[in-house]
Amino acid sequence: MIYDTAIVGTGPAGVSAALTLTIRDKNIVWIGDPSLSGKVEKAEKILNYPGVAKTTGKDLNALFKEQIADLGIEIQDHMVTGIMPFGDHFALTAGEEFYEAKTVILATGIVFKVALPGESELVGKGVSYCATCDGRLYKGRKIAVICNNPRFESEVLFLADLAESVDLFAEYKDVSSELTDRANINIHSKKAGAVKGEGRVEGVETDDGVIEAEGLFILRDSVSMSTLLPGLEIMDGHINVNRSMETNIKGVFAAGDCTGRPYQYTKAVGEGNIAAHGVLEVL
Ligand code: FAD
């Protein structure tokens, strides 16, 4: 099936686009975290969201969820790892799923973390963003995993079942005992600083030296834009858009923090709405 639009990201910008397009009876696929945005959930107090006085992030997120459920909108619980033009539409890779859509709305938020040195160059040459897609290539081999969200721990365990050993760089606190108790998972306290290898991954550099690895899985709740959609115009670290939220790639729109400052809920929501209207015009 070719969807009218694929929305990538479930923060306020994605929520707004999904609501508008659903109300307009469009056939959407919405991909991201069903618990919505961690940036909303974490806000202690929100004083600038019109119509919702003195709310908390948790409460606002609950309202978003209620509204999504009321309209029967579903979220596909995956990270999109690649978007490619495919004739007159787009193909999106997400986990082991593959979606096709006439248009795309990028609502991925801001990626504070840029790609590691060596990461972009070695994608497909040992660097992978998808455990289920590429894990089997590393059966019985020594791999490294960078994981920034406990949401991906099941993928780390899947990899540990296949690989001889996993050097894990967990970028969050309280790694679960399922991982710490695993004999073949080595948890590092040092951060991964760079991906090393000439033409193929050979290891991960840390302050303590290079940890050898034949493959590196990067399980993050964001993917760098240049990796996600090659050719996408970026300016000062943000996706370049016009006032209709169109990017330089025809049929691809962007909304929210990923398009620039100010990083605010209402800007994200407004831009999600404009991007949805942009989609309605080109369909
Ligand atoms: P985000 O909320 O960042 O959502 C993006 C979503 O896309 C995330 O769930 C991410 O995991 C997902 N995603 C990214 N890449 C992919 C991919 N490849 N595939 C699938 N999903 C992907 N703003 C205010 O206006 N008022 C406030 O009081 C306020 N307080 C804040 C407090 C805190 C602690 C923080 C961190 C931020 C606060 N902000 C506040 C800013 C506000 O949170 C952001 O501006 C807003 O969340 C941006 O929405 P967004 O939809 O653009 O992106």
Rounded CA-CA distance 215/105 in Å is: 31
Nearest-angstrom CA–CA distance, 245 and 256:
10
Give the model's pLDDT for residue 184. 98
* Residue type for position 225: M
pLDDT tens-digit map of 106-155: 999 986 666 899 998 898 899 998 888 789 999 999 999 999 989 899 99
Rounded to an integer, what distance in angstroms lies between the CA atom of residue 135 and that of residue 158? 8
Rounded Cα distance between 141 and 171, Å, is: 23
Query: Looking at the structure, do residues 245 and 202 belong to the same domain, yes or no?
Result: no
Q: What is the largest CA-CA distance in the chain?
A: 56
In ligand 1, which atom is closest to the CA atom of 12? Answer: 51
Distance 161 CA to ligand 1 centre (A): 33
In a shared domain, residues 11 and 149: no
Ligand 1, atom 4: closest residue by C-alpha: 11
Assign 96 a pLDDT band (cuts: 50, 70, 90): confident
pLDDT of 162 > 90? The answer is yes
| Cα–Cα nearest to 220, from 90, 127, 91, 87 | 127
From the CA of 222, give the closest atom in ligand 1: 15
In the prediction, which pLDDT does 133 show? 77
Alpha-helical runs (H) found in the chain: 12-23, 38-41, 57-70, 131-134, 153-162, 177-180, 225-228, 265-282
Atom 35 of ligand 1, residue of closest alpha carbon: 39
Tell me: do 214 and 227 sit in the same domain.
no
| Atom of ligand 1 lying closest to residue 43 CA | 32
What is the helix (H) or strand (E) element at residue 262, kind and residue range? none
What is the whole-number distance in angstroms between the Cα of residue 244 and the centre of ligand 1?
Answer: 21
Which ligand 1 atom is the nearest neighbour of the CA of 265? 25
Lining ligand 1 with CB less than 6 A are 8-14, 31-33, 37, 39-40, 42-43, 46, 48, 79-80, 107-109, 221-223, 228, 256-257, 263-266, 268
Query: Ligand 1 mean position to 107 CA, how many Å?
Result: 9
Cβ neighbours, 10 Å, residue 150? 15
Q: Are residues 257 and 156 in the same domain?
A: no
**Contact yes or no for 95/132 (Cβ under 8 A):** yes
* Residues 73 and 171 occupy one common structural domain: no
| Atom 28 (ligand 1) nearest CA | 46
Cis ω for the linkage preceding 262 (within 30 of 0): yes
Domain count of the chain?
2
* Dihedral sign for Cα atoms in the order 97, 98, 104, 106: positive
In tens, the pLDDT along 191-213 reads 999 999 999 999 999 998 999 99
Provide the residue range defining the domain that includes 166: 120-219
Answer yes or no: are the C-beta atoms of 195 and 132 closer than 8 Å.
no
CATH code of the domain in which 27 resides: 3.50.50.60
Containing H/E element for 111? none
Judge if 13 and 99 occupy the same domain.
yes
Alpha-carbon distance of 80 to 228, in angstroms, equals 8
Give the Å distance between the CA of 110 and the centre of ligand 1.
Answer: 7
Mean pLDDT of 150-172: 95
Q: How confident is the model at residue 24 (pLDDT cuts 50, 70, 90)?
A: very high
Ligand 1: which residue has its CA nearest to atom 46? 265
Q: How far is the CA of 59 from the centre of ligand 1 (A)?
A: 15
Instruction: Report CA(124)–ligand 1 centroid distance (Å).
Output: 29
User: Considering 171, 186, 219, which residue would you say is the last residue of a domain?
Assistant: 219
| End-of-domain residue from the set 195, 219, 243 | 219
The whole-angstrom separation of Cα 259 and Cα 110 is: 8
3-class DSSP assignment, residue 128: strand
Dist. CA 142 → ligand 1 center (Å): 35
Claim to verify: residue 180 and residue 212 sit in the same structural domain: yes
Which DSSP helix (H) or strand (E) runs through 236?
none
Domain boundary among 219, 241, 273: 219
Asked whether residue 224 carries a pLDDT value surpassing 90, the answer given is: no
* Distance from C-alpha of 135 to C-alpha of 20, rounded to nearest angstrom: 37
Q: What pLDDT, in 10s, does the model give residues 132-145?
A: 878 999 999 999 99
Residue 260: pLDDT over 70: yes
Q: Of 4, 62, 1, 71, whose CA–CA distance to 36 is shortest? A: 62
157 with 252, same domain: the answer is no
- Reading phi first (left if > 0) and then psi (alpha if -120 to 50, else beta), residue 124 is in left
Average pLDDT over residues 239-268: 96
Distance of CA 40 from the midpoint of ligand 1 (Å): 6
Q: Does 212 lie in the same domain as 232? A: no
Any residues with CB less than 8 A from the CB of 174 and at least 6 apart, and which?
A: 150
* CA–CA distance, 205 with 190 (Å, rounded to integer): 10
What pLDDT does residue 120 have?
A: 82
Does residue 205 sit in the same domain as residue 278? no
Of 14-28, 98-112, 169-183, 217-231, minimum mean pLDDT range = 217-231
Q: pTM of the full predicted structure?
A: 0.86
